[in-house]
Amino acid sequence: MLRWIDVIKYAKYSNPEPHLRVEKTEREWQQQLTPKQYQILRLKGTESPYRNAYCKSYEPGVYVCAGCGTPLFNSTEKYHAISGWPSFTQPISKGAIKYLFDDSHRMQRIEVQCNACDGHLGHVFQDGPEPSGLRYCINSESMLRLENTTEAIGDKA
């Protein structure tokens, strides 16, 4: 189980190795992604709170990166954080997420990206429920939920 100290170490020193790397040109990303997905995943945008696909959705499945299909979160780790965005307590595997310090907008946060394609997902905070205390606050547009989890099972973090 990842804890806040692990997140800080990854952001400061070195992120876990990704399971695979996906690299495309910006033109290829623009052709593949919807305009909203491109705005969030490639330009680090943020969608409106509460008005997004997965904020109030709790169906079982695995959430994968909308850019490259990498498994990111299991629905069993999703909870209602009243933040306006889908929230998770743990990634599906240690190598799924990349952590970066983000000092934009006069805030100090830790950005989370897909570790395979560097797509912006959202941020992680230390105000989540126990036992980890983590809250991964993720843009719905950066993910797709797969119902057939046999295609997207990662190792536990």
Query: How many degrees, rounded to 5, is the angle at CA 119 between CA 139 and CA 90?
Result: 60
Q: 30: which 2 tokens? A: 């623009």
Half-sphere exposure of 124 (CA within 13 A, CB side): 27
Nearest alpha-carbon partner for 101 in 113, 93, 109: 109
137 is catalytic: yes
Q: 18: which 2 tokens? A: 């990704």
What type of residue sits at position 113?
Answer: Q
Is residue 109 within 8 A of residue 125, CB to CB? The reply is: yes
Count of Cβ atoms closer than 10 Å to residue 4 Cβ: 16
Is residue 73 within 8 A of residue 62, CB to CB? The reply is: yes
Q: 131: which 2 tokens? A: 């036992």
**Any idea which residues carry the catalytic annotation?**
137
